[in-house]
């Protein structure tokens, strides 16, 4: 049967089709530009992972959050569960996992020294076997994959600030080595899968990041000091407090992660993502004490073994490659983080 249609009827029909598709596009806004990507975030229920999932969903993507809840919490992602484009999978990255996605952000790994030293063998397995499993998946499904590496690959650095070209100064048998060497090996695996199997990789080296949704018992310095100050407990200063760190607010990191993932295949990294503002732990404690108005006192405790004495990112590469630099300074980020902890600390 041949369907004949007059020119005017054809124009009418076209108008109707345009109206219907405009209605459809309004209802499912993200489909209209064909920008919806399916994205896997391992460690998605953790501090950084939950912010990343939220941002990716807000940008109209379909997000799968994978986590074994070792240090992550369902509470971090509870507000995302009503979004039909958000799925949660309880899984351990040390076991293979298969799913069809366009991109993988590999964040699964405990990040606080207290937590990664709790079961060091498991920490190495998570970094190394987790990387192998996720890279194998990326290879099979031809997905882009980003590794959340760390400034810890520089160890107790002898070069300051740290550039990506610096090979680091890591004790391979110290208490931090399960994390540092695990992450270094993961970088090696990423580079090898890229060179041997053409997997499209992205490596970022994240410097100390803080913000809302850090666990109150996380053990890292920003959350420890704020929680101690809000409870009126002693502020635990390890060592003399002269050691330095450069603290980055979580929103700045998430922006850097997304920009890195969106680079062309020729950009593999590693790229430092951090805030170059450098502070001693004494300066940090003084800020927290002032901003919370606490009567807490600083008490000095021994410096943990191999605790790096200084850390500050050189972010020239991120500026050049990603047109990225942090926007939130420490005072502003601490104010937002203190406001969050006031809602959770009893
Ligand atoms: P986090 O502990 O809050 O998040 C880690 C998440 O990974 C948690 O939800 C945890 O349950 C999950 N996880 C751990 N082991 C797993 C496993 N075997 N299988 C599945 N899930 C597992 O820590 P974070 O600060 O959000 O760190 C996220 C990532 O960023 C980590 O890879 C960390 O090494 C990296 N990083 C963080 C910082 C920082 O300052 N926060 C600095 C450098 C690198
Ligand atoms: N730190 C401290 N008191 C605490 C927790 C940490 O003085 O209650 C110090 C720690 O020794 C280190 C710095 O703060 O010098 C940053 O520690 P964190 O565990 O946050 O991160 P990392 O050492 O992995 O950079």
Q: Which two tokens stand for residue 291?
A: 């901003």
Distance 127 CA to ligand 2 centre (A): 21
Q: Which of 189, 94, 92, 191 is nearest to 133 (CA)?
A: 94
- The model carries a pTM of 0.91
Q: How confident is the model at residue 32 (pLDDT cuts 50, 70, 90)?
A: very low
CA distance 220 to 99: 33
Contacts of 314 (CB under 8 A, 6+ apart): 161, 162, 163, 164, 272, 276
- Minimum CA distance residue for ligand 1 atom 35: 148
Q: Which one of 44, 45, 54, 71 would you pick to mutate in the ligand 1 pocket, going by the greatest count of ligand atoms within 8 A of its CB?
A: 71
**Ligand nearest to the Cα of 69, by number:** 1
pLDDT for position 34:
53
Radius of gyration of the chain (CA): 23
- What pLDDT was estimated at residue 12? 54
Ligand 2 environment, Cβ below 6 A: 113, 208, 220-221, 224, 236-238, 243, 245, 281, 303-304, 307
Our count of domains for the chain comes to: 1
Instruction: List, for residues 158-168, the tens digit of each pLDDT value.
Output: 999 999 999 99
Looking from the CA of residue 72, the nearest atom of ligand 1 is 9
pLDDT band at 334 (very low <50, low <70, confident <90, very high): very high
pLDDT of 132 > 70? The answer is yes
For the CA of 209, the nearest atom of ligand 1: 40
Mean pLDDT of 236-262: 98
Which pLDDT tens digit goes with each residue over 283-313? 999 999 999 999 999 999 999 999 999 999 9
Alpha-carbon distance of 84 to 87, in angstroms, equals 8
Atom 22 of ligand 1 has which residue's CA nearest to it? 108
In a domain, 162, yes or no: yes
Kindly state whether residue 23 falls inside one of the protein's structural domains.
no
Is a pLDDT exceeding 60 seen at residue 110?
yes
Assess if residue 298 is contained within a domain. Answer: yes
Distances (CA, A) of 340 to 210, 213, 223, 333, 335: 12, 8, 11, 11, 9
pLDDT reading at 20 higher than 50:
no
Residue 31's pLDDT band, with cuts at 50, 70 and 90, is very low
Is residue 116 a contact partner of residue 274, using CB atoms and an 8 Å limit?
no
Mean pLDDT estimate for the chain: 92
What is the mean pLDDT of the segment spanning 195-202?
Answer: 98
> Which ligand 1 atom sits nearest the alpha carbon of residue 110?
2
Residue 346: per-residue pLDDT: 77
Instruction: Name the H helices within the chain.
Output: 7-27, 29-32, 47-58, 113-116, 120-141, 177-197, 221-231, 250-261, 281-292, 316-322, 330-344
Mean pLDDT along residues 118-130: 98
- Asked, for residue 26, whether it belongs to a domain, the answer is no
| 181, part of any domain | yes
**Average pLDDT rounded to a whole number, residues 104-127:** 97
pLDDT of residue 2: 37
Record the tokens describing residue 323, joined without a space: 């047109």
Containing domain of residue 135, as a range? Answer: 34-344
Token readout for 262 is: 């969106």
Number of the ligand closest to the Cα of 214: 1
Residue 86 has pLDDT above 60, yes or no: yes
In a domain, 8, yes or no: no
Give me the residue label for tokens 């959770």.
344
* pLDDT of res. 341: 97
In this structure, are residues 106 and 42 in contact, taking their beta carbons and an 8 Å threshold? Answer: yes
Q: Are 322 and 195 in contact (CB under 8 A)?
A: no
pLDDT at 40 over 80: yes
pLDDT of residue 4: 40
116: in domain: yes
Tens of pLDDT, residues 261-289? 999 999 999 999 999 999 999 999 999 99
User: In this predicted model, which residue has the larger pLDDT, 60 or 24?
Assistant: 60
Q: What is the mean predicted confidence (pLDDT) over 188-212?
A: 98
Q: How many other C-beta atoms are found inside a 10 Å radius of the C-beta of residue 196?
A: 9
User: Which residue is closest in CA terms to ligand 2's atom 17?
Assistant: 221
CATH number at residue 200: 3.40.50.720
């Amino acid at each position: 049967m041949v369907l004949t249609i007059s020119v005017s009827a054809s124009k009418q029909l076209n108008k109707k089709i345009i109206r219907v598709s405009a209605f459809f596009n309004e209802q499912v806004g993200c489909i209209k530009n064909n920008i919806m990507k399916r994205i896997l975030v391992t460690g998605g229920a953790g501090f950084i992972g939950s912010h990343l999932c939220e941002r990716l969903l807000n940008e109209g993507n379909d997000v799968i959050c994978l986590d074994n809840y070792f240090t992550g919490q369902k509470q971090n992602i509870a507000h995302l569960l009503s979004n039909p484009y958000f799925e949660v999978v309880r899984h351990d990255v040390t076991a293979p996992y298969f799913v069809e996605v366009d991109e993988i952000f590999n964040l699964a790994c405990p990040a606080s020294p207290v937590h990664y030293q709790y079961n060091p063998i498991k920490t190495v397995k998570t970094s190394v076997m987790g990387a192998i499993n996720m890279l194998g998946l990326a290879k099979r499904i031809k997905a882009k994959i980003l590794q959340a590496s760390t400034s810890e690959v520089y160890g107790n650095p002898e070069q300051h600030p740290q550039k990506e070209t610096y090979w680091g100064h890591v004790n391979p048998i110290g208490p931090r080595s399960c994390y540092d060497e695990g992450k270094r090996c993961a970088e090696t695996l990423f580079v090898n899968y890229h060179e041997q199997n053409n997997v499209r990789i992205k490596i970022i080296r994240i410097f100390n990041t803080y913000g809302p949704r850090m666990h109150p018992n996380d053990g890292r310095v920003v959350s420890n000091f704020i929680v101690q100050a809000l409870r009126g407990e002693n502020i635990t200063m390890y060592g003399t407090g002269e050691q330095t760190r450069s603290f980055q607010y979580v929103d700045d990191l998430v922006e850097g992660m997304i920009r890195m993932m969106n680079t062309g295949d020729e950009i593999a990294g590693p790229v430092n993502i951090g805030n170059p503002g450098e502070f001693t732990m004494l300066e940090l404690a003084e800020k927290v004490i002032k901003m919370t108005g606490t009567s807490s006192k600083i008490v000095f405790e021994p410096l943990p073994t191999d605790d790096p004495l200084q850390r500050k990112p050189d972010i020239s590469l991120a500026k050049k490659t990603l047109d990225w630099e942090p926007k939130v300074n420490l005072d502003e980020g601490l104010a937002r983080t203190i406001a969050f902890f006031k809602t959770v600390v009893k």
